[in-house]
Structure 1
Amino acid sequence: MTDALALTRALTAVDTVGHAETAALEVVAPLLADAGFRTEVFEHEPGRGTLVAEWETGHDTPPLCLSGHVDTVPLGGARWQRDPFAGETDGDRLYGRGVSDMKAGVAAIVTAAVTVARSRSRRSGLRLVLTAAEETGSQGARFVAGRLGRSGPLVIAEPTANVAFHGHKGALWLEALATGVTAHGSMPHLGDNAVVKLAGAVSRLAGHRFDVEPHPVMGPPTLNVGTFTGGLNTNSVPDRAVATADVRTVAGQDHGELLRALAAVAGEGVAVTPLIDLPPVWTDPGDEWAASASAIARQVTGAGEEVATATYFTDASVLTPALGGVPTLICGPGQPEQAHVTDEWCSITRLAESVEILTRIGAEWCGI
């Protein structure tokens, strides 16, 4: 049986900070091939691959889809106390960049998939989609989305401490651009100040109240102005200013309508364009498969029955609609609060739990 801890450490040893996902996939592809999966890597850029692995049984029921990403965010400016690529352990903690977000989740997926594939399925197969470039807007998932066939439910093993999340908020990242006319700072009446123009727009955007009721689980949508830059020097009227905003949406919101509404709020003279457009994902807790899979997670971890969703986005924003709007759960071994932090760690106990959860969900779907 594949050792999920050793596999996580092997994945962690491959630096995938915005590159080299194909090299990380070379760690897992042979394990899947040996278990009977047909594997293929699709690169949207050289060295940046997404692996699609299919274990087919000849049954009519569509395969269960398991997914995770192998890219990671940068290390940050703070000094690490642990080698970010060594996979050091200390008690129940495994340290390294991406262990929680989400190489432990990928290792759990592969380990569970190999276990299920070595059994005799009576109902269905499995599909694995292990992606590149999730952290910067799900480019890897987008690249393979049109290549995926009919599918059963989807599990994304992002960090949830093995709580089964029933979806996540959407992400609509916006750029607001104001242009003006430059002039000498002592004669501002001869220019058109882009900074002042954009400042008014940003103030209106920050105070915008969304015309939607809070979601019963996700809560309300949010808008955060993240950056603001403009001007060249103090004694000139600025002719260009740019701001960015991070909008997190809830189930039921249409991003196209919202973009038009926010552009109107920004006002004339300010161009609002999307940088990332990933819709929210929501699966009703009453869905038969979701209820069963959530129950498995609770049985393994002893967690309560409260329904939860993630605030962060995942590849489900791309994969769920590409697979036909299938029921989707987010459930993985990483600690959500460890994502992107210095000296990131994952619980080894949670990793073992995740393997059991995913194995049982896979075995149930496949009729083993």
Structure 2
Amino acid sequence: MSPDVLSLTRELVAVDTIDRDESRTLAVVAPHLEDAGFDVETVEHEPGRGTLIAEWHAGTDTPPLCLSGHVDTVPLGDAEWSRDPFRAEPEGDRLYGRGTTDMKGGVAAIVCAAIGVARSGRMPRAGLRLVLTAAEETGSHGARGALGVLRDRPSGPLLIAEPTAGAVFHGHKGALWLSARAEGVTAHGSMPHLGENAVYKLARAVGTFERFVFTEQAHPAMGAPTLNVGTFRGGLNTNSVPDSAVATVDIRTVPGQDHAAITENLQARVGGDASLEPLIDLPAVWTDPADEWAAAVTAIAADVTGRRSDGDPRAATYFTDASVLTPALGGVPTVVCGPGEPELAHVTDEWVSIARLHESEETFRRVAEAYCRA
């Protein structure tokens, strides 16, 4: 029996995958896929943290369509939830819970759509490949861990079911996260002249970041690249000169920017005040909206939802596993489309529209049918 997208979303949300235990969640969907005729394997990048690869008729002459999403979730935050974040009780059109929007609802829609296509009884000209990943939120570690399996397998286009409120995004910004570390010499706080204050050095570096201006032109869909200093920590106690301080920097890039060049430029500007090291390095992803497959996905989504785009291409500000998967699969056409609301990702009392869950399942099923049966 095929799973229902609402019930499957609730089952996935019930498993706590806040930076852990993704393999337990994948164990929920694996039997459904196997029963529908998929070959299923799990690749763990560390114990208990697996990425599921499920294939159906993937050996045809035409490379399989790839559908992907992640099953890890972010922490709940300090604010109290008004509902149990792991119970996912429906309230009207809303399903509340951690991961409903980002992005277990999208994963459930992928799985249900793929099973529907596999059980239609018609022989395909091309197959399907599902890649359900772990550890996306902290830098796509699960996707990276599966590349040893995926790189050797031909792939067709890629759809990532991250939250877009059912719209089709043709790419997303890249993410370059840096640590900026300053080193000094400790001394008694009453004799600061005997030390070298690392906080002052890092403060000068942060001032350089605040004044930094990107020279690249804004992307027509993504806008301009951005830089934000997210954290600043230094010193151990009030009455000592701090000998260490560290800040983290979040840079969001657009296609064509070289992350290594950005890092070198910033390092040159801060000089000896701080040393910069990458924490996350994920490139931007972009597919021409005129690409035949991408245009077909846009048309199907508009037909299913009844919401026509204004003609302007759209892109996400957040990153996805496409930063890892798209280049590894040979630069395949890639779109982002899922039932979640982008502004509800990571928030307290996160929810997803139940109507959009069903819409996304229908969109994904029709996209897969069009590709696999054409």
Shorter chain as normaliser: what TM range?
over 0.9
CA distance in 2, matches of 1:10, 1:209: 46
| 1:227 counterpart = 2:231 | yes
- 1:100: Cα distance to partner? 0.5
CA distance in 2, matches of 1:130, 1:265: 41
> Is the CA contact 2:190–2:239 (under 8 Å) kept in the aligned structure 1?
yes
CA distance in 2, matches of 1:256, 1:202: 19
Q: What one-letter code is carried by the residue in structure 2 that aligns with 1:329?
A: V
* Helix, strand or coil at the partner of 2:62: coil
2:308 alignment counterpart: 303
What fraction of aligned residue pairs are identical, expressed as a percent? Answer: 67
Q: What one-letter code is carried by the residue in structure 1 that aligns with 2:60?
A: H
2:196 alignment counterpart: 192
After superposing the two structures, state which structure 1 stretch, 29-38 or 259-268, moved more. 259-268
- Aligned counterpart for 1:345 among listed residues 351, 366, 369: 351
- Aligned residues, how many? 368
Q: What one-letter code is carried by the residue in structure 2 that aligns with 1:111?
A: C
- 1:13: Cα distance to partner? 0.9
1:101 alignment counterpart: 102
CA distance in 1, matches of 2:165, 2:228: 26
Partner deviation per Cα, 1:214-243 (whole Å, 9 max, x = no partner): 111100000000111111222222111101
CA distance in 1, matches of 2:263, 2:340: 33
> Is the CA contact 2:170–2:335 (under 8 Å) kept in the aligned structure 1?
yes
In structure 1, list runs of 5 or more residues that go unmatched.
Answer: none
- 1:57: Cα distance to partner? 5.6
CA distance in 2, matches of 1:231, 1:93: 46
After superposing the two structures, state which structure 1 stretch, 188-197 or 134-143, moved more. 188-197
Q: What one-letter code is carried by the residue in structure 2 that aligns with 1:275?
A: L
1:161 alignment counterpart: 165
CA RMSD of aligned residues (A): 1.1
> Is the CA contact 1:167–1:310 (under 8 Å) kept in the aligned structure 2?
yes
CA distance in 1, matches of 2:324, 2:6: 29
Q: What one-letter code is carried by the residue in structure 2 that aligns with 1:265?
A: R
CA distance in 1, matches of 2:36, 2:142: 24
- Aligned counterpart for 2:143 among listed residues 98, 123, 141: 141
| 1:210 counterpart = 2:214 | yes
Partner deviation per Cα, 1:52-102 (whole Å, 9 max, x = no partner): 001116420000000000111111111111111111011100111100000
Q: What one-letter code is carried by the residue in structure 2 that aligns with 1:324?
A: G
* Helix, strand or coil at the partner of 1:276: strand
- Aligned counterpart for 2:323 among listed residues 302, 317, 328: 317
CA distance in 1, matches of 2:327, 2:123: 27
| 1:122 counterpart = 2:127 | no
- 1:121: Cα distance to partner? 3.5
| 1:246 counterpart = 2:257 | no
Does the C-alpha gap of structure 1 residues 189 and 58 become closer, same or farther in structure 2, counting only changes over 3 Å?
closer
> Is the CA contact 1:57–1:121 (under 8 Å) kept in the aligned structure 2?
no
> Is the CA contact 2:57–2:126 (under 8 Å) kept in the aligned structure 1?
yes
- Aligned counterpart for 1:367 among listed residues 358, 370, 373: 373
Query: What TM-score results when the alignment is normalised by the length of structure 1?
Result: 0.98
> Is the CA contact 1:86–1:96 (under 8 Å) kept in the aligned structure 2?
yes
Partner deviation per Cα, 1:329-359 (whole Å, 9 max, x = no partner): 0000011111111111100000010011100
- 1:186: Cα distance to partner? 2.7
After superposing the two structures, state which structure 1 stretch, 139-148 or 177-186, moved more. 177-186
CA distance in 2, matches of 1:200, 1:268: 11
CA distance in 2, matches of 1:76, 1:43: 27
Partner deviation per Cα, 1:130-189 (whole Å, 9 max, x = no partner): 001111111100000221111000000000011000010011111000101112223222
CA distance in 2, matches of 1:118, 1:200: 62
CA distance in 2, matches of 1:266, 1:114: 54
> Is the CA contact 1:69–1:134 (under 8 Å) kept in the aligned structure 2?
yes
Q: What one-letter code is carried by the residue in structure 2 that aligns with 1:76?
A: G
2:363 alignment counterpart: 357
CA distance in 2, matches of 1:266, 1:68: 38
Q: What one-letter code is carried by the residue in structure 2 that aligns with 1:303?
A: R
CA distance in 2, matches of 1:242, 1:309: 32
2:296 alignment counterpart: 292
After superposing the two structures, state which structure 1 stretch, 258-267 or 355-364, moved more. 258-267
* Helix, strand or coil at the partner of 2:252: strand
1:272 alignment counterpart: 276
Partner deviation per Cα, 1:4-55 (whole Å, 9 max, x = no partner): 0111011111111111111111110011111111000111121111100011
CA distance in 2, matches of 1:44, 1:190: 47
* Helix, strand or coil at the partner of 2:262: helix
